[in-house]
Structure 1
Amino acid sequence: MLQQFGFTQYESQVYQSLVTSEQPLDATGVVKGSGVPRAKVYEVLHRLAEKGMILESTVEKKRLYSALPVESAIEKLKADFEANVQQLREAKRKQTITDDRVWTLKDNQSIQSLMKGLLEKAEQSVILSGWSDDLSSYLPLLENKYNDGIDVKIHVIGELFTVIPDVSTLLPDTQHGTLERSRILIIDQREMLFAGIEDTVWQAIRTQSKPLVKFFTEFFYHDVALTEITRKYKDIVMEDKAVREVLLNLRY
């Protein structure tokens, strides 16, 4: 009965004898009902009690045993299973080795596929920067992550229509001639991908290196800050030639 849940054969036999009995049993009754040798029965009863599968009581100096009801046992086993699964997840996280090497990748389709794969793995946060026509293909996945409670922050060049509230939008000025196509993706503050165009070909780097993840995170917020300052004080900064030239030469 219980062997498929990780219990021994003797434990299963003793539990079955108790759960099918109409009244509590002493050790002698358990031996008769389960077929477990008397020399083993006390050890088995002790293990089942430690596992919370049986109840114990002493009546007139006689030790009696009763099974945890089947429905209660089922709930307990389900809870134990979920707890074990969670421990396994935690163990996996603890054993994950950070790969601080920097990996390079070419080909736009490969880069986009890798970005989607990284987005699907996000469990806590997503930071994403790019151009609106580039990012639109990721919107369904991004909005699903947002609806799942994951923190999603986006900096976009051009208009992007989405239910995600934390979006910083830069509408390029006609003088923004130096703006370059690029993408930044940072997942769970532990892994990042940066892609840009070099000699008309998309190229990317990917790493879990903490200094680089931190650098590109700060770079993202640098872009957000400049975008918001430019948007709010555009008339002022654009009138100042020196400030305007600096802003228009920034990558964003």
Structure 2
Amino acid sequence: MSGYEAKAYVTLVGAGQPLNGYEVAKRSGVPRSTVYETLGKLVAKGAAYELRGADDATDYLPLPPRSLLERLRREFDDSIEALESSLPAIVAPPGAHLIHSLKDAGALLARAEDVIAGARADLFLSIWPEEMKRLAPLVKRAAERGVDTSVLHFGPVADPVGHMYEHRFPSLDEDLEEPGRRLLVVAADRRETLVGGFAGDTAWGVYTEDPAVVTMAVEYVGNDIVMQVIAERVGHETMRGFWADDPRLAHLRAARDRYAALVRAAGPPARPEGSQAAPLHPGDVR
């Protein structure tokens, strides 16, 4: 509705009785010069009805709000169904797999919401409590509509959703070689993924539909879940022993130690005046 149409409709709804054009103009603020045109548009849309009296005067009644909302909902749903069938038919195959950068927390979380809301078959998440607070309602709705949902949650889980696993190995203190830095991974339908990180009030991330990156994201979350289950089965101390003592893992331990030292030396992400500096993350280390 236009502004005048909305004012006229609300006035009719609030009156509780039929009104003529003069009364609608007086109560709504719609100019008398346009009130009958405005009411005519409401009638044409089915949002109001004309009542003609014996003296040929015309009063107006609104379509009840509940009925109007149901009609709008049906029309909206019909439009969406038409678009779902017609738009894919005109989309050209992409010349390259979509990928774009996300440069702040708001954009990162909004894109994560898009991925979760679009999931239809399966959903993989690796997530921290801070981000789960915002994304939990959408994750829950995905699980409720039958999406096979696997969530690796860093820390205790207050309200489990889908197949939810608490990240306990290594412990959070051990895992946080980078103080204050949290990784977020969301992958839906083996078709799209978002990978990002948060450090204080800065954030970085990428979204892509590249199959290779999507596969890596799914395998990353899946393997980390397997690690948690194995650690619970064999014991955390046994798992720490494998990591600390097995000579086949020596080069991985050394690489992790070097990276941790670099991060500690870098300190908190620098923030020059008037700009936001990106935090150090694995892609920065050569």
Contact 2:126 2:152 in 1 (8 A): yes
Q: Which residue of 1 aligns with 2:219?
A: 218
Q: Which residue of 1 aligns with 2:115?
A: 118
Q: Which residue of 2 aligns with 1:178?
A: 177
Q: Deviations over 1:4-53 (max 9, x none)?
A: xxxxxxxxxxxxxxxxxxxxxxxxxxxxxxxxxxxxxxxxxxxxxxxxxx
Whichever residue aligns with residue 132 of structure 1, its letter is: P
Contact 1:143 1:163 in 2 (8 A): no
Give the % identical residues: 14
Secondary structure of the structure 2 residue equivalent to 1:175: helix
Distance, in Å, in 2 between the alignment partners of 1:93 and 1:123 is 17
Q: Which residue of 2 aligns with 1:151?
A: 148
CA RMSD of aligned residues (A): 3.5
Structure-to-structure mapping, 1:91-102, within 5 angstroms: 92-93=87-88, 96=91, 97=93, 100-102=97-99
Contact 1:143 1:164 in 2 (8 A): yes
Whichever residue aligns with residue 111 of structure 1, its letter is: L
Distance, in Å, in 2 between the alignment partners of 1:111 and 1:196 is 9
Deviation, structure 1 residue 146: 0.9
Distance, in Å, in 1 between the alignment partners of 2:173 and 2:199 is 23
Distance, in Å, in 2 between the alignment partners of 1:120 and 1:165 is 15
Structure-to-structure mapping, 1:136-147, within 5 angstroms: 136-147=133-144
Deviation, structure 1 residue 198: 6.9
Whichever residue aligns with residue 235 of structure 1, its letter is: E
Contact 1:127 1:152 in 2 (8 A): yes
Q: Alpha carbons of 1:164 and 1:100: their partners in 2 closer, same or farther (altered >3 Å)?
A: same
Moved more, 120-129 or 147-156: 120-129
Secondary structure of the structure 1 residue equivalent to 2:177: coil
Distance, in Å, in 1 between the alignment partners of 2:220 and 2:155 is 19
Structure-to-structure mapping, 1:15-30, within 5 angstroms: none
Whichever residue aligns with residue 175 of structure 1, its letter is: E
Structure-to-structure mapping, 1:223-234, within 5 angstroms: 223-233=224-234, 234=236
Whichever residue aligns with residue 156 of structure 2, its letter is: E
Match of 1:242 among 245, 250, 256: 245
Deviation, structure 1 residue 209: 0.9
Distance, in Å, in 2 between the alignment partners of 1:247 and 1:144 is 40
Structure with greater contact order relative to length (CA < 8 Å, sep ≥ 6): 1
Distance, in Å, in 2 between the alignment partners of 1:242 and 1:102 is 40
Distance, in Å, in 1 between the alignment partners of 2:160 and 2:134 is 15
Deviation, structure 1 residue 121: 1.9
Q: Which residue of 2 aligns with 1:59?
A: none
Secondary structure of the structure 2 residue equivalent to 1:230: helix
Q: Alpha carbons of 1:150 and 1:237: their partners in 2 closer, same or farther (altered >3 Å)?
A: closer
Q: Deviations over 1:70-119 (max 9, x none)?
A: xxxxxxxxxxxxxxx97974665566545613211101111111211222
TM-score, L = length of structure 1: 0.56
Which runs of no fewer than 5 residues in structure 1 stay unpaired?
1-84
Q: Alpha carbons of 1:209 and 1:133: their partners in 2 closer, same or farther (altered >3 Å)?
A: same
TM-score, L = length of structure 2: 0.50
Contact 2:148 2:162 in 1 (8 A): no
Contact 2:182 2:199 in 1 (8 A): no
Q: Which has the larger radius of gyration?
A: 1
